[in-house]
Chains A and B, each alone.
Chain A
């Protein structure tokens, strides 16, 4: 009796809710697997998908977005062993699940904490409320590959942004597997788009892209590259989250900063009269 031949998995990109190969046809060997090597054109396609998803996702109710993020937590919990098998420590998977849950709850609370009525000196109704900035490009931290990734995606999308993420180049399998979680979490296609490959190839394209509203440089460890990306981002005045310090504790309370940096505050005035 011969041993069963295992079916191996092909690790592909995640763009617009689908799993395409790189348009360049390239892949690279990492973590004992062939993973798609995203090109600049893939980055461009991902931005198009992310932009197309903004209207529906930002327009969804906060309750709905919260439900979908919570669903992602449920699906991730169910696949705990799969991530452990990829080498992700169990406590990291648990923390990633908890992070989804934490951010899910913010969807319908942040506007109350971060916005509100302004007592202006005149007969006006005056209200400030946060709104998503739009399409956010993210360079995910190299590690922890799963918790770091969830910790940058969740705060961006919970408020209604869509993201294009350059994933950890050295540990991309957790990212692609997370994409499978998201694909089965009722998350509309295009809200999260993942590009595996080299940061140096995708990030500059995203930083310079004029239809991207913000860039999160959290995972950029090379200071020169970070500065260069920030300079590129200035072309259309992207909102910028600067790189995380090397000793950043991913298990700690993340605070509101990741969410609020990717928000716009809109203030509406209206006279009060009869």
Chain B
């Protein structure tokens, strides 16, 4: 047996302060009412830092700082200069990428190989891409003189903390807006390091403000009358509440919400790559991915074969220390999320689906969940309908392409879908019929700053990435 020795990435590259304030108007400040909360490492439950909890007054201060920066500095600044600030930020992110990757894995629990090879490179790429748009907005197809909206309120989730920050801040700033961003309460650290990067880049004060806190802080931000734009990524439930909150206001809204994507495997699929795609689709980032391929639809004629390969492949997944370079599946982000995954998985068993996990030793401390598949699942099972947001795959079968489409679309969500077949015309036929914003054919979970991403139906509206991503931050 070939045992891989531990290969931990050094955490000494990152210097975590014992406590962080709010980043408002270019400096770190204490919250008005002095509240705070702790951010912990989900792999060890160790406290990483004490984080300021922003209240309504702090949000107000941040929005006013953003307004002043918008009116006095960032709005009037020529696009070519805004571009240069964004390019600077992109470069600093590249230079400090190892530090950001380690910090992301510590705070979030995701494997270092993902934060290092996926998250942080995409963050830098995103800033680099939108930097180039800042002085080319008249050519973006939104008329000769598109205008920014003003102050953008942005609330992001914990699954890709810095990447979601990049998806929000880069296009907003490129278009000429200023922002107040609230990171998720369980993963604020890379956003706060990003605030330092803004300082390092000499970004004018007030252009980017980071207000940490939980749901109440987010609500205060979204409901603040001084914001012109609200952008949210997170659960459909909260997205709905935000849509109600902005009803009747002038605030432009974009939402990137939940999903329950079908990953459809036909009998003529390239099986080995399909199995990789299935694994990547549901176990990437512990399944904490809104576009995760959480419903596997296999054509009946190859179901046994695909499942056998999938199980064999799952047995190779290495669960454990997120900082170990060989870890494939890290920690579940929080105790609350772990409880939800357990609850839905138990419901799957209770409803009669057959549960399977490879033999896998989980660490004692921290929040862990073994990669799991359920077979014998039908559309009626809760695990086939509700977003689990964890490393849990529901397996269903189908007989014909039409049945695959029908089952794939039979959900209120519509974020993504996967198709695996060697037949080109079938891919295009399927892609036309799937009600999903992103369709990955013979691949899965691929992202690029040039490629628009976003959902149909209850997965939200608006697109992030590409030329389309600018529209959310322009008055068009």
Direct A–B touching in the complex (beta carbon < 8 Å)? yes
B473 interface contact, C-beta 8 A: no
**In the complex, are the beta carbons of B248 and A230 less than 8 A apart?**
yes
A30 interface contact, C-beta 8 A: no
Tell me whether A267 and B441 are in contact in the complex, defined as CB-CB below 8 angstroms, given that A213-B457, A237-B239, A257-B476 are known contacts.
Answer: no
Question: Distance in Å from the Cβ of B401 to the closest Cβ of chain A?
Answer: 16
User: Mask for A254-274, Cβ within 8 A of B = 1, else 0?
Assistant: 010100100011111111000
**In the complex, are the beta carbons of A264 and B412 less than 8 A apart?**
no
A60 to B139 alpha-carbon distance, docked (Å):
31
A119 to B143 alpha-carbon distance, docked (Å):
23
Q: Determine the chain B residues whose CB is within 8 A of the CB of A233 once the complex forms.
A: 243, 247
**In the complex, are the beta carbons of A270 and B443 less than 8 A apart?**
yes
**In the complex, are the beta carbons of A236 and B457 less than 8 A apart?**
yes
**In the complex, are the beta carbons of B412 and A236 less than 8 A apart?**
yes
User: Mask for A92-125, Cβ within 8 A of B = 1, else 0?
Assistant: 0000000000000000000001101011111010
A-B contact pairs, 8 of them (CB 8 A): A118-B451, A122-B446, A128-B468, A230-B247, A230-B248, A234-B244, A236-B458, A237-B461
Interface-side segment among B292-300, B318-326, B340-348, B432-440:
B432-440
List B residues 425-476 near A (Cβ within 8 Å). Answer: 427, 431, 436-443, 446, 448, 450-454, 456-458, 460-461, 463, 466-468, 471, 476
Tell me the B residues contacting A by CB distance below 8 Å: 125, 141, 143, 236, 239-240, 243-244, 247-248, 255, 257, 412, 414, 427, 431, 436-443, 446, 448, 450-454, 456-458, 460-461, 463, 466-468, 471, 476
Q: Determine the chain B residues whose CB is within 8 A of the CB of A116 once the complex forms.
A: 467
**In the complex, are the beta carbons of B431 and A271 less than 8 A apart?**
no
A266 to B463 alpha-carbon distance, docked (Å):
10
CB closest residue in chain A, given B434 = A266
Give the residue of A239, A264, A270 whose beta carbon is less than 8 angstroms from that of B442.
A270
**In the complex, are the beta carbons of B441 and A270 less than 8 A apart?**
yes
Known pairs A234-B244, A270-B427. 10 more at Cβ < 8 A?
A114-B141, A118-B466, A121-B450, A133-B456, A231-B248, A236-B412, A237-B457, A255-B476, A264-B437, A266-B438
Question: Distance in Å from the Cβ of B385 to the closest Cβ of chain A?
Answer: 15
A235 to B458 alpha-carbon distance, docked (Å):
9
A33 interface contact, C-beta 8 A: no
Q: Determine the chain B residues whose CB is within 8 A of the CB of A118 once the complex forms.
A: 448, 450-452, 466
Give the residue of B257, B453, B463, B476 whose beta carbon is less than 8 angstroms from that of A237.
B257
| Chain A interface residue bracket vs B | 35 or more
A34 interface contact, C-beta 8 A: no
A121 to B448 alpha-carbon distance, docked (Å):
7
**In the complex, are the beta carbons of B451 and A126 less than 8 A apart?**
yes
**In the complex, are the beta carbons of A234 and B438 less than 8 A apart?**
no
A119 to B403 alpha-carbon distance, docked (Å):
33
Give the residue of B247, B448, B476 whose beta carbon is less than 8 angstroms from that of A120.
B448
CB closest residue in chain B, given A120 = B448
Tell me whether A223 and B248 are in contact in the complex, defined as CB-CB below 8 angstroms, given that A120-B448, A237-B457 are known contacts.
Answer: yes
Tell me whether A269 and B450 are in contact in the complex, defined as CB-CB below 8 angstroms, given that A230-B248, A231-B247, A234-B247 are known contacts.
Answer: no
**In the complex, are the beta carbons of B458 and A237 less than 8 A apart?**
yes
Q: Determine the chain B residues whose CB is within 8 A of the CB of A267 once the complex forms.
A: 437-439, 451-453
Q: Determine the chain B residues whose CB is within 8 A of the CB of A270 once the complex forms.
A: 427, 441-443
**In the complex, are the beta carbons of A255 and B143 less than 8 A apart?**
yes
**In the complex, are the beta carbons of B143 and A227 less than 8 A apart?**
no
Question: Distance in Å from the Cβ of A116 to the closest Cβ of chain B?
Answer: 8
**In the complex, are the beta carbons of B141 and A113 less than 8 A apart?**
yes
A52 interface contact, C-beta 8 A: no
**In the complex, are the beta carbons of A265 and B463 less than 8 A apart?**
yes
CB closest residue in chain B, given A264 = B456
A230 to B436 alpha-carbon distance, docked (Å):
24
**In the complex, are the beta carbons of A269 and B440 less than 8 A apart?**
yes
A225 to B315 alpha-carbon distance, docked (Å):
57
Q: Determine the chain B residues whose CB is within 8 A of the CB of A271 once the complex forms.
A: 442-443
**In the complex, are the beta carbons of B240 and A234 less than 8 A apart?**
yes
A133 to B437 alpha-carbon distance, docked (Å):
11
Tell me the A residues contacting B by CB distance below 8 Å: 113-114, 116, 118-122, 124, 126, 128, 133, 213, 223-224, 226-228, 230-231, 233-237, 239, 255, 257, 260, 264-271
Give the residue of B257, B412, B441, B460 whose beta carbon is less than 8 angstroms from that of A269.
B441
Q: Determine the chain B residues whose CB is within 8 A of the CB of A239 once the complex forms.
A: 461
**In the complex, are the beta carbons of B255 and A237 less than 8 A apart?**
yes
Tell me whether A266 and B436 are in contact in the complex, defined as CB-CB below 8 angstroms, given that A114-B141, A126-B451 are known contacts.
Answer: yes
**In the complex, are the beta carbons of A269 and B143 less than 8 A apart?**
no
A255 to B420 alpha-carbon distance, docked (Å):
39
Q: Which 10 A-B pairs have the closest CB atoms?
A: A227-B248, A230-B247, A234-B243, A120-B448, A118-B450, A231-B247, A118-B451, A270-B441, A234-B244, A268-B439
Q: Determine the chain B residues whose CB is within 8 A of the CB of A231 once the complex forms.
A: 244, 247-248
Q: Determine the chain A residues whose CB is within 8 A of the CB of B243 once the complex forms.
A: 230, 233-234, 237
Q: Determine the chain B residues whose CB is within 8 A of the CB of A128 once the complex forms.
A: 451-452, 466, 468
A271 to B463 alpha-carbon distance, docked (Å):
22
**In the complex, are the beta carbons of B450 and A120 less than 8 A apart?**
yes
**In the complex, are the beta carbons of A126 and B448 less than 8 A apart?**
yes
**In the complex, are the beta carbons of B460 and A237 less than 8 A apart?**
yes
A233 to B240 alpha-carbon distance, docked (Å):
9
Q: Determine the chain A residues whose CB is within 8 A of the CB of B448 once the complex forms.
A: 118, 120-122, 126
A122, A213, A230 pick with most chain B CB within 10 angstroms = A230
Question: Distance in Å from the Cβ of A233 to the closest Cβ of chain B?
Answer: 8
Question: Distance in Å from the Cβ of A261 to the closest Cβ of chain B?
Answer: 9
Q: Determine the chain B residues whose CB is within 8 A of the CB of A223 once the complex forms.
A: 248
Question: Distance in Å from the Cβ of B247 to the closest Cβ of chain A?
Answer: 3
Q: Determine the chain B residues whose CB is within 8 A of the CB of A264 once the complex forms.
A: 414, 437, 456
**In the complex, are the beta carbons of A237 and B248 less than 8 A apart?**
no
Q: Determine the chain B residues whose CB is within 8 A of the CB of A269 once the complex forms.
A: 438-441, 443, 446, 451
Give the residue of B257, B439, B457 whose beta carbon is less than 8 angstroms from that of A266.
B439
Question: Distance in Å from the Cβ of A126 to the closest Cβ of chain B?
Answer: 5
**In the complex, are the beta carbons of A237 and B443 less than 8 A apart?**
no
CB closest residue in chain B, given A255 = B143
Q: Determine the chain A residues whose CB is within 8 A of the CB of B463 once the complex forms.
A: 265
A121 to B458 alpha-carbon distance, docked (Å):
29
CB closest residue in chain A, given B257 = A237
CB closest residue in chain A, given B246 = A230
**In the complex, are the beta carbons of B451 and A265 less than 8 A apart?**
no
CB closest residue in chain A, given B460 = A237
A268 to B416 alpha-carbon distance, docked (Å):
10
**In the complex, are the beta carbons of A124 and B456 less than 8 A apart?**
no
CB closest residue in chain A, given B440 = A269
Question: Distance in Å from the Cβ of A214 to the closest Cβ of chain B?
Answer: 9
Q: Determine the chain B residues whose CB is within 8 A of the CB of A124 once the complex forms.
A: 443, 446
